[in-house]
Amino acid sequence: MRNQPETLHEYNIPRLHWWFLLSGFVFLLSLVLMIWVDYSGGYAPWLALHGDREWKNYQHQFYTLDMKRLADDAKAAEVKANEAGLARMQDDLEKTNGELSGKKAEETKLQAAVDQARVEDDLITRQFTMEKAMRDQDRSLYEEALERDNMNTDVPEVRESKNKAEKQNDFVSKLDLLKQQADAKLQATKDNQTVLMGHEVELQHNIKRLDDGIKLLTTRYKQLDSSLVQGVVNAPVIEFAAGTIKVEQIIADKHHTDVNFATVPRVDRCIMCHKGIDRKDPTPEDRDWRAKHKIEVIEWSRQPQPLRNHPQMDLFVGDTSPHPATTYGCTVCHWGWDRETTFSRSGHTPEAEEKQPYILDASTKQWVKAPKSEDDEDDDTKAQKVVVSKTNVVEMTQKEVWQKNHNWEEEEFLMQPMRSAKYVQASCLKCHNAQTNLKGGEKLDHGRRLIEQLGCWSCHKMKQMETYTTHHVAAGEDFEGLCKFYDVNADDVRRLNGFPQEVSLTIGQEVNIPIRTLRKPGPSLYKVASKTNKEWMRKWLDNPVAFRPNTYMPRFWGLDNNAGTPDRNAVEINAIAEYLFAVSDQPKYPVPPVQGDAENGKKLVGQLGCMGCHVIDEKLMDVKVPASLKQYMDDWQYRRLRSQGPQLAGVGSKAGGNWLYAWLKDPKQYHPRTKMPNLRLGDQEAADVATYLAGLHNEKTDQETLPEAKGELLDKETIEYLQVTLPMEEARKKINNLDDLIELYFVDEETMKYYQDPARLAREETQLKALQKEFEETFDDAVDRKAKKLAAQIEQVKVKIQAAKQTVAGMQFTDKKNVYLGSKLIFRYGCYACHDIHGFETAKPIGTELSEWGSKPVDKLDFGLVDIEKGRLSWLKQKLHAPRSFDRGRIDVTRMPQELLRMGKFNLTDEQIDQIVTVVSGMTDEKLTPNEARQLTPAEFQIERGRWTVKELNCIGCHIVEAQGGAVRATGIATGMEPPLLSGTPTQLHQGQRTQPDWLFQFIKAPQTGQIRPWLHVRMPTFGLTDGEANVLVKYFALQGEAQFPYQSPKIDMTPEHLAAGKQLFEQLKCALCHIVDGKALGKPLAEIPEEDLPRLAPNLSQAHLRLQRDWLVNKWLVEPLAQQPGTRMPQFEYGTAIAPNILGGDGRKQIEALVDYVLTLGTHEQVAEVVPAPAPVAAPTQPQAQP
Partner 1 sequence: MEHAAAGHGVLFEAFKEVANILATPWLSFSLTTIGLLLMLRFRRYVFNWWIGILAIAIESGVIIWGMKDPNFSLIVGKPDNVPITAMLFISTFVLWLAMTQAVNNDRRVEQKLPPDEKETSNQKTWVWPDLLYIEFIALIICSIVLILWAIYLRAPLEQPANPAATPNPSKAPWYFLGLQEMLVYYDPWYAGVVLPSIIVVGLMAIPYIDTNPKGGGYFTFAERKFSIGIFLFGYLALWVFMIITGTFLRGPGWNFFGPFEYWDPHKIVALNNVNLSDYVWVKWFQWIYQKTHIEWFNQGLPQVRNAIPQLLPPDPTSIRLFLVEVGHAIKREFAGILFLAFYFLALPGILAKTILKKFYEQLDLARYSVLVMLFLTMFTLPLKMVLRWTMTLKYFVDTPWIKF
Q: Is residue 43 a contact point for partner 1 (CB under 8 A)?
A: no
Contact flag: residue 49 with partner 1 (CB under 8 A): yes
CA distances from 635 to 453, 616, 912, 950 (A): 17, 18, 12, 19
Residues 316-355 that bind partner 1 (CB under 8 A): 337, 345
Span between the terminal Cα atoms of the chain, in Å:
109
Binder of partner 1 out of 73, 411, 815, 1157 (CB under 8 A): 411
Burial bucket for residue 866 (CB in 10 Å: 0-12, 13-18, 19+)? middle
User: In 3-state terms, what secondary structure has residue 290?
Assistant: helix
Per residue, the 3-state secondary structure of 65-91, as one string, reads HHHHHHHHHHHHHHHHHHHCCHHHHHH
For 641, 831, 913, the CA distances from 907, given in Å and listed in that order, are: 17, 17, 10
Distance CA 939, CA 1040 (A): 9
Near partner 1 by CB under 8 A: residue from 233, 505, 843, 858: 858
412 scored as a contact of partner 1 (CB under 8 A):
yes
Q: Nearest CA to 38 among 51, 25, 50, 27?
A: 51
Based on the shown chain and the rule CB under 8 A, indicate whether residue 849 belongs to the binding site for partner 1: no
Of 1, 6, 7, 1179, the one binding partner 1 by CB under 8 A = 7
Contact status: 413 vs partner 1 (CB under 8 A) = yes
- How far is Cα 382 from Cα 1013, in angstroms, rounded to an integer? 56
Report whether 800 contacts 545 (CB < 8 A): no
Q: Which is nearer to partner 1, 417 or 554 (CB)?
A: 417
CA distance 691 to 660: 8
User: Of the listed pieces 11-19, 638-646, 1001-1009, 1163-1171, which binds partner 1 according to CB under 8 A?
Assistant: 11-19
Binding mask 564-603 for partner 1 (x = CB under 8 A): ----------------------------------------
Residues 6+ apart with CB under 8 A from 965: 632, 633, 637, 641, 955, 956, 957, 958, 959
> Any contact of residue 1009 with partner 1 (CB under 8 A)?
no
The one segment of 24-32, 635-643, 668-676, 842-850 that binds partner 1 by CB under 8 A:
24-32
CB of 334 to partner 1, least distance (A): 17
Q: Of residues 13, 228, 627, 762, which one binds partner 1 by CB under 8 A?
A: 13
Minimum CB separation of residue 414 from partner 1 in Å reads 6
Q: Is 699 in the site for partner 1 (CB under 8 A)?
A: no
Beta carbon nearer to partner 1, 38 or 1093: 38
Contact 172, 132 (CB under 8 A): yes
Calpha distance 92→87 (Å, rounded): 9
Closest contact distance (angstroms) between CB of 21 and partner 1 is: 10
At residue 472, φ and ψ (nearest 5 deg) are -100, 120
Comparison of 399 and 697: residue with beta carbon closer to partner 1 = 399
Give the binding range for partner 1 (CB under 8 A) out of 239-247, 727-735, 855-863, 1070-1078: 855-863
* Binding range to partner 1, per CB under 8 A, among 25-33, 215-223, 508-516, 982-990: 25-33
CB of 13 to partner 1, least distance (A): 6
Number of residues that bind partner 1 (CB under 8 A): 34
19 near partner 1, judged by CB under 8 A: yes
Does 26 engage in binding with partner 1 (CB under 8 A)?
A: yes
Instruction: Give 773 or 870: the residue with its C-beta nearer to partner 1.
Output: 870
Residues 739-758: b if buried by 16+ CB within 10 A, e if exposed: eebbbbbbbeeebbebbeee
- Considering the complex, what minimum distance in angstroms separates the CB of residue 40 from partner 1? 12
Please name every residue paired with 317 in a beta bridge, in sequence order, or none if there are none: 324
SS3 1084: strand
Phi, psi of 42 (to 5 degrees): -80, -170
User: Minimum distance between the CB of residue 12 and partner 1, rounded to whole angstroms?
Assistant: 10
User: What is the closest distance, in whole angstroms, from the C-beta atom of residue 264 to partner 1 in the complex?
Assistant: 11
Nearest-approach distance from CB 357 to partner 1, in angstroms:
28
Q: Which is nearer to partner 1, 346 or 991 (CB)?
A: 346
- Name the residue nearer to partner 1 (CB basis): 345 or 697: 345
How far apart are alpha carbons 153 and 145 in whole angstroms?
Answer: 9
- Near partner 1 in 1022-1041, by CB under 8 A: none
In angstroms, what is the minimal distance from the CB of 407 to partner 1?
9
CA dist 576 and 96 (Å) reads: 103
Among 30, 226, 312, 1044, binds partner 1 (CB under 8 A): 30
What residues contact 1077, with CB distance under 8 A and at least 6 apart?
1071, 1100, 1101, 1102, 1162
Report how far residue 1175's alpha carbon sits from residue 1182's, in angstroms, rounded to the nearest whole number.
19
Cβ proximity to partner 1, 35 vs 974, nearer residue:
35
User: Least distance in Å: CB of 739 to partner 1?
Assistant: 41
Q: Collapsing DSSP states into helix, strand and coil, what is residue 208?
A: helix
User: Which range in 60-68, 175-183, 295-303, 852-860 contacts partner 1 by CB under 8 A?
Assistant: 852-860
Residue from the set 79, 233, 396, 414 that interacts with partner 1 by CB under 8 A: 414
Binding string to partner 1 for residues 514 to 553, with x set by CB under 8 A, is what?
----------------------------------------
From the list 20-28, 533-541, 545-553, 627-635, the region that binds partner 1 by CB under 8 A is 20-28
Q: How far is the CB of 19 from partner 1 (least distance, A)?
A: 5
DSSP per-residue letters across 353-412: -S-EEEEEETTTTEEEEPPS-STT--HHHHT------GGG-EEE-HHHHHHHHH-----T
Q: Measure the CA–CA gap between 296 and 294, rounded to whole angstroms.
A: 6
Torsion of CA 474, 479, 482, 488, to 10 degrees: 150
Cβ(992)–Cβ(1041) below 8 Å: yes
Q: Give least dist CB 259 to partner 1, A.
A: 6
The piece of 854-862, 871-879, 1002-1010, 1078-1086 that touches partner 1 (CB under 8 A) is: 854-862
The binder of partner 1 chosen from 393, 415, 546, 1106 (CB under 8 A):
415
- Comparing CB distances to partner 1, the nearer of 28 and 1186 is 28
Residue 248's closest CA among 309, 347, 312, 325?
A: 325
**Shortest separation between residue 53's beta carbon and partner 1, angstroms:** 12
Question: How near is the Cβ of 1000 to partner 1 at its closest, in Å?
Answer: 51
Cα–Cα distance, 907 to 190 (Å, whole number) = 88
Span near partner 1 by CB under 8 A; candidates 9-17, 699-707, 763-771, 871-879:
9-17
Figure out which of the listed residues 712, 729, 777, 859 binds partner 1, where binding follows CB under 8 A. 859
Closest CA to 623 of 959, 1018, 970: 970
CB count in 10 Å sphere of residue 132: 17
Question: Which CB atom, from 240 or from 261, has the smaller least distance to partner 1?
Answer: 261
CB of 51 to partner 1, least distance (A): 10
User: Per rule CB under 8 A, is residue 27 in the interface with partner 1?
Assistant: yes
∠ Cα 108 110 115 (to 5°): 95
Residues 209-268 touching partner 1, rule: CB under 8 A, are 259-261
Q: Per rule CB under 8 A, is residue 813 in the interface with partner 1?
A: no
Spatial separation of the C-alpha atoms in residues 641 and 453, rounded to whole Å: 11
The contact set with partner 1 (CB under 8 A) reads 7-11, 13, 16, 19-20, 23-24, 26-27, 30-31, 33-34, 37, 49, 52, 259-261, 337, 345, 411-415, 855, 857-859
